Structure 1
Amino acid sequence: MRVFTVAEAKAMIPEVRERADVIIRLRANLAELSLTLNTTGESPAGGGVAEMKALEAHLGEAIGWFNGHGIEVKGIAPLLIDFPAVLDGEDVRLCWLEGDERLAWYHRTELGFAGRRRLA
């Protein structure tokens, strides 16, 4: 498991935000296509189930980038990611939530999102 410093995690936020935009777009496209297929049985582009599978594959690839860089994806709606870190000798997760402009939160590993605190 990769352990990030606060500076390393903060330096990754511009790319995280760019890649988050891709996930958000794919997630929305997948939700709309799924609704359309479930409602009408057809997709606007005519791809149907194959189109949905392709979107799912692209979403999986986009999420895989985070995992491949040691970043934990905790949820995709909204997108919530954690960077494993150590603060003051304690295992924590530096926490970024979709819509955050910068990395400004952390929580103790065992507490999860409910234990979020602002970074000093």
Structure 2
Amino acid sequence: MKRYFTVEEANRQLPLIEPLLISLQQLKREISAKNRDLQAAKAALGSAAAEDAFFAEEAETEFLMMQANSLIAKVHEHGAEIKSVDLGLIDFYTLVDGKEAYLCWKLGEPHSIRFWHGLYEGFVGRKPISLLKNAEDPE
């Protein structure tokens, strides 16, 4: 079931979500580096490499992916959608004039939602919260 947030409700989630996003970014960098190294090692050995020669490295990468998926699930449990891991960009559903919209926050911004946008406008369509009467109480 979709949950709609007021600005205040979303703001309360930010300190809980921020460390999850930071950890997720670190994991993504680690996974990318391991994948690059693994592909380079496989390319260096060519087709002569045994299938199980890289089992440990592949298993380690798979474990890191499981950790990343767990962090993503935790962010979702807080009601946020991850729009970009690299940017640390998340959105919360809200209602604006009875229509669905997003409250938008980016890692590095203060722990207060300052922007919102329509469902299909994305990050470039962000508007200041000050232009919004207030995200409606979903009740």
Indicate the TM-score class for this superposition, using the shorter chain for normalisation. Answer: 0.7 to 0.9
- In 2, Cα distance between the equivalents of 1:8 and 1:95? 13
- In 2, Cα distance between the equivalents of 1:49 and 1:98? 30
Q: How many aligned residue pairs are there?
A: 116
SS of residue paired to 2:84? strand
- In 2, Cα distance between the equivalents of 1:118 and 1:16? 21
- In 1, Cα distance between the equivalents of 2:67 and 2:104? 24
Identity percentage of aligned residues: 28
Map Cα deviations across residues 37-71 of structure 1 (whole Å, 9 max, x no partner).
11124xxxx93000000011100110011222321
In structure 2, the residue matched to 1:24 is: 25
Structure 2 unpaired stretches of 5+: 43-54, 131-139
- In 2, Cα distance between the equivalents of 1:53 and 1:101? 34
CA RMSD of aligned residues (A): 1.8
Matched, 1:3 2:4: yes
In structure 2, the residue matched to 1:13 is: 14
Alpha-carbon offset, residue 90 of structure 1: 3.4
What letter corresponds to residue 33 of structure 1 in structure 2? K
What letter corresponds to residue 35 of structure 1 in structure 2? R
What letter corresponds to residue 72 of structure 2 in structure 1? I
More RCO (CA 8 Å, sep 6+): 2
In structure 2, the residue matched to 1:78 is: 87
| TM score, norm. by length of structure 2 | 0.75
Give the alignment of 1:49-60 within 5 angstroms: 49-60=58-69
- In 2, Cα distance between the equivalents of 1:84 and 1:31? 30
Please identify the structure whose Cα radius of gyration is greater. Answer: 2
- In 1, Cα distance between the equivalents of 2:58 and 2:96? 46
Q: Is the 8 A contact 2:21 2:85 kept in 1?
A: no
In structure 2, the residue matched to 1:89 is: 98
What letter corresponds to residue 5 of structure 1 in structure 2? T
- In 2, Cα distance between the equivalents of 1:24 and 1:113? 19
| TM score, norm. by length of structure 1 | 0.85
Structure 1 unpaired stretches of 5+: none
